[in-house]
Amino acid sequence: MSMEKVYLSEYEKSPYEVKTIDLEFDLDSTKTMVKSKMIISRTGEENQALFLNGDSLELVSIKLDGRELHQSEYELNEQGLSLHQLPAEFSLEIENIINPEANTALDGLYKSGGIFCSQNEPEGFRRITYFIDRPDVMAVYSTKIIADKKAYPILLSNGNLFETGDLKDGKHYAIWKDPHPKPSYLYALVAGDLGCVNDSFTTMNNNEIALNIYCDKGNEDQCSHAMTSLKNSMKWDEERFGREYDLEIYNIVAVDSFNMGAMENKGLNVFNSHYVLADADTATDSNFMGIESVIGHEYFHNWTGNRITCRDWFQLTLKEGLTVFRDQEFSSDMNTRSVQRISDVKALQERQFVEDASPTSHPIKPEAYIQINNFYTATIYEKGAEVIRMIHTLIGEEGFRAGMDLYFKSFDGQAVRTEDFIWAMQEASGFDLEHFTLWYCQSGTPEVNVTSVFDKKSKSLCVTIKQTFSSPTQVNQKPYFFPFKIGLINGSGHECRLQLENAEGQTLVDKGVLLISKEEESFTFTGIKDAPIMSLNRNFSAPVKVHTAYSLSEYAFLMAHDKDEFNRFEASQTIASMVLHKLIDAVEKNEAMSLSDIYSEAFSKVLLDMNMDMSLKADSLSLPSVSMLMQEREVLDVEAIYIARNFLKRELIREWGADIQAQYASLNTEKEYTLQSAEIGRRKLKNTLLSYMGALKDESPVLLQYKKSNNMTDRLAALSILANSRGKGKTEALNHFYKRYKDNTLVMNKYLAVIASSELKETPSNVRDLLEDEVFDIKVPNLVRSLIGAFARNALHFHAIDGSGYAFIADKVLELDKLNPQIASGLSGVYKDYGRLNDTAKALMKVQLERIVNTSNLSKNVYEIISKILA
Ligand code: BES
Ligand code: ZN
């Protein structure tokens, strides 16, 4: 196995292009015959060889312009097939055999349950047939699928259905033709005995599109939310971006075994069933929201990804960052914008900030990789979306729309680079983005220190903004250019008018956005009577960490008065973090802990505010997660974090228990389950309050909610609290839940995650037992993520002082690597705190990291991650 790196700087155009490819599959579980006929033409030098990628294929025959080639006329190795001395244009017919059932990597064509399905991004197509498997080779595809009619009545591929018919021996066939040229990673094939839900959508130009969602038979009634989300996505992309769908049919297939969430194959999306199936009894509010956003995301790729694709995989954020931005905007328009923003930023802070501070830190446009599959990261996706959002903030909604229009007009049907996107944005808006492009090539999270001096005489406030930038994996970085949205709030809680002294042209764009471009710069605001409090980085206008010299009281003030909803939330988290870090210090130094009065009062103000949006209230009353707190510690003492966090919870319920319980009771009314934002907010607040009540001795309210609830959101919230309790209710509820949902694997995922996430000391042995349980199957990625992944993210147990957590996960990484390297490498990312451990823990982890990296036949995927962590 080669561990060679691929570099962006070494990109070269393909010397050949594939104009058309006609595929024929004779489906069989272990021996599927694939016939391909390609029309290929030379675009490079005459003497250049043609190289076709191929991986795990059994070659049967090759014909060049109709003549079968002898073995001596081509070269075949582990990576693929080379042909020399070719004419300028020719046809190539290849026959090969693949084994879908043996494909446990779930990459290429594989079987999930009884269903044939494919996953080709980024490099799966080479596991189906020999091809120039890179995104800038775009061809027109047709597919003939032949299969047993009884076992596989449904036969699907990309594009429009062209012909179907019966064959002898109980077989039948279907021919699909996709008129749009596309890269091989967007190719898809599905065959099976599937249930189906149909609907239709009429586009802005009055084209009627057939919409189908396929799933396991019996699950059809769980597809309605996905279907509604699809129609909403189609409408939204027309209204917000003027983009119309471009085929006669849009198919979505839900499968149980899938490495990722979902895939945007042209006209034939394949989804992890987790992101399709939902009803009130089995799915939580956050599952419903997740479905809406992922359905939207894959639909939006039709323009940002499929019509315009990536030149090479270093450009991945071109389609993913942009499409995440689009799905975030879609969710904001469908639900509550500020609530959506908080949840998106939280996800960024909890996952991407951690990644960017670790040995796997990389720019949104990486320079090199060993295995591209390792780069579907929070950085490429979430930070990539923040970079697009900054452009949106800089040039405004109108400028952004004009930029998108120009991007589509200029590059439709092409495979392009992030530079092409920036060009369109700059050209359409007239805004200079050159300095801004550093965001594409620098890694690490910038930090911004803000200080201010108020001068009463001149009624002015001088604000100094200093950025620091560094990365664990880069040197010689330069200052960034970014929009920094601020507000000034006076003592009575009102906004000051923002008036800049000598505002030179662009330093302040409208709505309080400062343009920061230097390492250090000062802005003087005039006409201010009394020293104001600054509200900084409003709505999280830039993906940075902000530092001030503000005390708890000043953050408490912002928490109460900031007009920016995001910043009110952010202030609640900052103040809670400050308090928690003091408590953690106390635990570490063996000193007594006590509740901060200022925080307690700020908490109660929110608690007793009956006018606040319930979802925002719930977010503001929640404590920062363990993962957020871990980021700020120089040397990790995980147990101390848990002790401090649990102490604060207990103190808050001791102090405000009566109010919390009364409010919980008033929210816990029997109601029909609906997905209106207000209802989702009510449940979120209710369950946040319940989680505080979980710290009480009496578990009966939690158990009662578990028993009485008519929906999964409330039931699961109660169950996770009980899973951390010592009372009788825990066993009762867990047993009941298991019995009730044993046959529903999506719900069993929740059960496994709840147990694996528990702080209780029996968790490691519970997890080991569940590995042997009949509901668990190590070949199904969702189950691995729910049980093993959740345990690995359970910092308390993963970092067990005897090193048992490290060893257990290493065993699983190695076991999984033989089956599914992509899932194994996803799991191996949990070791990335290596550098911040104390010496004892570090030595224990090192043993495991070395054990993994020294294993023979290790995949490139795991090797790349572990070797970076060790370096
Ligand atoms: N193109 C990706 C899916 C993908 C990438 C699958 C690489 C397999 C390998 C898709 O558009 C995507 O981004 N899916 C996300 C969900 C999305 C809402 C962020 C996923 O699968 O996690
Ligand atoms: Zn995507």
∠ CA 865-869-871, rounded to 5°: 115
Give the CA-trace dihedral at 564, 570, 575, 581, to 10 degrees: -170
Give the 3-state secondary structure of residue 409.
helix
Give the pLDDT of residue 508. Answer: 60
Nearest to 339 by CA among 405, 413, 289, 305: 289
> In angstroms, rounded to a whole number, what is the distance separating the alpha carbons of residues 539 and 337?
10
Query: Per the structure block, which two tokens stand in for 750?
Result: 């929740």
User: How does DSSP assign 17-56, residue by residue?
Assistant: EEEEEEEEEE--SS-EEEEEEEEEEE-S-TTPPEEEE-SS
Asked if 686 and 668 count as a contact pair (C-beta separation under 8 A), the reply is: yes
Measured in Å, residue 346 CA sits from the centre of ligand 1 at 20
| Ligand 1 atom at minimal distance to the Cα of residue 293 | 18
CB under 8 Å to 527, separation ≥6 — which residues?
Answer: 459, 460, 496, 497, 499
Residues of the chain with pLDDT under 50: 506
User: How many Cα atoms are found within 13 Å in the side-chain-facing hemisphere of 709?
Assistant: 27
Measured in Å, residue 167 CA sits from the centre of ligand 1 at 37
**Atom 16 of ligand 1, nearest CA residue:** 261
> In angstroms, rounded to a whole number, what is the distance separating the alpha carbons of residues 290 and 593?
39
Measured in Å, residue 291 CA sits from the centre of ligand 2 at 14
Cβ–ligand 1 contact at 344 (below 6 Å): no
> In angstroms, rounded to a whole number, what is the distance separating the alpha carbons of residues 363 and 344?
19
CA distances from 669 to 180, 282, 673, 714 (A): 53, 20, 11, 12
Measured in Å, residue 487 CA sits from the centre of ligand 2 at 35
∠ CA 727-733-737, rounded to 5°: 155
CA distances from 619 to 323, 613, 624, 650 (A): 26, 10, 10, 18
Cβ–ligand 1 contact at 294 (below 6 Å): yes
> In angstroms, rounded to a whole number, what is the distance separating the alpha carbons of residues 38 and 469?
50
Measured in Å, residue 801 CA sits from the centre of ligand 1 at 36
Q: For residue 199, what are the β-bridge partners?
A: 211
> In angstroms, rounded to a whole number, what is the distance separating the alpha carbons of residues 135 and 651?
56
User: How does DSSP assign 843-870, residue by residue?
Assistant: HHHHHHHHHHHTSTT--HHHHHHHHHHH
Cβ–ligand 1 contact at 376 (below 6 Å): yes
Asked if 615 and 667 count as a contact pair (C-beta separation under 8 A), the reply is: no
Of 375, 376, 380, 388, best ligand 1 pocket probe by most atoms within 8 Å of the beta carbon: 376
> In angstroms, rounded to a whole number, what is the distance separating the alpha carbons of residues 170 and 193?
15
Give the pLDDT of residue 511. Answer: 76
Query: Per the structure block, which two tokens stand in for 393?
Result: 């903030």
Measured in Å, residue 306 CA sits from the centre of ligand 2 at 11
Give the pLDDT of residue 503. Answer: 58
Asked if 315 and 375 count as a contact pair (C-beta separation under 8 A), the reply is: no
> In angstroms, rounded to a whole number, what is the distance separating the alpha carbons of residues 366 and 345?
22
Which one is catalytic: 93, 298, 565, 651?
298
Cβ–ligand 1 contact at 320 (below 6 Å): yes
CA distances from 691 to 612, 650, 657, 714 (A): 20, 11, 12, 11
Query: Which residue type, as a one-letter code, is found at position 192?
Result: G
Query: Per the structure block, which two tokens stand in for 299?
Result: 């639909």
Give the pLDDT of residue 2. Answer: 60
CB under 8 Å to 565, separation ≥6 — which residues?
Answer: 338, 341, 342, 613, 616
**Angle, in degrees to the nearest 10, between helices 337-347 and 565-588:** 30
**Atom 10 of ligand 1, nearest CA residue:** 263
Cβ–ligand 1 contact at 686 (below 6 Å): no
Look-up of token digits 């297939």: 253
> In angstroms, rounded to a whole number, what is the distance separating the alpha carbons of residues 219 and 192?
15
Asked if 288 and 265 count as a contact pair (C-beta separation under 8 A), the reply is: no
CA distances from 116 to 218, 462, 850 (A): 18, 65, 38
Plot region of 558 (φ>0 → left; ψ -120 to 50 → alpha; else → beta): alpha
**Atom 15 of ligand 1, nearest CA residue:** 261
Q: For residue 77, what are the β-bridge partners?
A: 80
| Ligand 1 atom at minimal distance to the Cα of residue 259 | 8
Asked if 433 and 470 count as a contact pair (C-beta separation under 8 A), the reply is: no
Which phi and psi angles does 805 have, rounded to 5°? -65, -40
Query: Which residue type, as a one-letter code, is found at position 318?
Result: L
Cβ–ligand 1 contact at 564 (below 6 Å): no
Nearest to 482 by CA among 399, 418, 541, 564: 541
Query: Which residue type, as a one-letter code, is found at position 633?
Result: R
Query: Which residue type, as a one-letter code, is found at position 603?
Result: F
CA end-to-end span of the chain, whole Å?
A: 20
Give the pLDDT of residue 559. Answer: 97
Query: Which residue type, as a one-letter code, is found at position 624?
Result: P
| Ligand 1 atom at minimal distance to the Cα of residue 822 | 9
> In angstroms, rounded to a whole number, what is the distance separating the alpha carbons of residues 435 and 445?
17
Helices (H), 335-460: 337-347, 353-356, 378, 384-411, 418-429, 438-441
> In angstroms, rounded to a whole number, what is the distance separating the alpha carbons of residues 489 and 510?
17
Q: Has 298 been annotated as catalytic?
A: yes
Sequence-ordered strand ranges (E) for 573-659? none
Measured in Å, residue 6 CA sits from the centre of ligand 1 at 22
Nearest to 536 by CA among 492, 482, 577: 482
DSSP state letter for 789: I
CB under 8 Å to 521, separation ≥6 — which residues?
Answer: 464, 465
Nearest to 780 by CA among 744, 829, 819, 737: 819
Measured in Å, residue 297 CA sits from the centre of ligand 2 at 6
User: How does DSSP assign 193-259, residue by residue?
Assistant: -EEEEEEEEE-TT--EEEEEEEEETT-GGG-HHHHHHHHHHHHHHHHHH-----SSEEEEEEES--S
Q: Which residues surround ligand 2, an ion (CB under 5 A)?
A: 320, 323
Look-up of token digits 């200022």: 598
pTM to 2 decimals?
0.98
Give the pLDDT of residue 555. Answer: 98
DSSP state letter for 595: -
Asked if 190 and 231 count as a contact pair (C-beta separation under 8 A), the reply is: no
Which burial class, exposed, middle or buried, applies to 461 when counting CB atoms under 10 A from its CB (0-12, 13-18, 19+)?
Answer: buried
Q: What length does the chain have?
A: 871
> In angstroms, rounded to a whole number, what is the distance separating the alpha carbons of residues 863 and 867?
6
Cβ–ligand 1 contact at 185 (below 6 Å): no
Look-up of token digits 């595929």: 23
Q: For residue 448, what are the β-bridge partners?
A: 467, 546
**Atom 1 of ligand 1, nearest CA residue:** 263
Give the 3-state secondary structure of residue 142.
strand
Cβ–ligand 1 contact at 322 (below 6 Å): no
> In angstroms, rounded to a whole number, what is the distance separating the alpha carbons of residues 316 and 314?
5
Cβ–ligand 1 contact at 290 (below 6 Å): no
DSSP state letter for 380: I
Give the CA-trace dihedral at 740, 743, 744, 745, to 10 degrees: 130
Hey, how many other C-beta atoms are within 10 angstroms of the C-beta on 718? 27
Largest CA distance in the chain: 95
| Ligand lying nearest the CA atom of residue 344 | 1
Give the pLDDT of residue 250. Answer: 98
Hey, how many other C-beta atoms are within 10 angstroms of the C-beta on 702? 25
> In angstroms, rounded to a whole number, what is the distance separating the alpha carbons of residues 617 and 390?
27
Give the pLDDT of residue 171. Answer: 98
Cβ–ligand 1 contact at 262 (below 6 Å): yes
Cβ–ligand 1 contact at 793 (below 6 Å): no
